[in-house]
Amino acid sequence: MPSIIPSYVYTFFALTIVGTILICTFSTFAVSVKQDVETEQLKNLLEYVAAESCELISTSSVNNSTASIKLTMPPRLGENRYWIQFRNDSSTAWIEGGLGTTPVQTSLTVFVPGLVNASGLFISGYGFAELECQTQGTTTFLNLTGA
């Protein structure tokens, strides 16, 4: 009779360990799925800003003109705030974005077609993002600000 009780205790501990491993595995998977969804939402948001900037560039092609639009942006992606900024070099412009409030590490990039000088930073919160396009001679300037 005394040998049966230790086998129950060992079985209980084994089931506890297996249950803990399963809970940790499913928790990690749930966090991974949530991060993938937030990253996809950020990518869609960057593509939205890129599309709106292309439309703004095409409509303000008149020399010495300025056009601006306000973009409706979500305050958060999931539970995280995010940032979006325009960057450029001598040949192309792009939009960078990432989760958090400080633009330190770029997680996503979407390129803007055409030769433009782009700058500006938008950090999520409550409000709009304002996209402004100025054409001076043959140079087009894009600026993104929080409104």
Contact 67, 142 (CB under 8 A): no
Q: Which residues pair with 94 in a beta bridge?
A: 87, 111
Neighbouring C-beta atoms of residue 28, cutoff 10 Å: 10
pLDDT for res 48: 92
Predicted TM-score (pTM) of this structure: 0.78
pLDDT for res 3: 63
pLDDT for res 21: 94
pLDDT for res 19: 94
Q: How far apart are alpha carbons 85 and 131 in whole angstroms?
A: 11
pLDDT for res 2: 57
pLDDT for res 17: 94
pLDDT for res 45: 92
pLDDT for res 22: 93
What pLDDT digit, counting tens, does each position of 53-63 carry?
Answer: 888 888 776 77
Q: How far is CA 77 from CA 48, 82, 90, 113, in A?
A: 15, 7, 32, 26
The residue ranges of every structural domain in the chain are: 4-146
Residue-by-residue pLDDT tens, the chain, 147 positions = 456 677 788 888 999 999 999 999 999 988 888 888 888 999 999 999 999 988 888 877 677 788 889 998 999 988 888 999 998 887 888 899 988 877 776 678 888 887 888 899 998 887 889 999 888 888 888 899 886
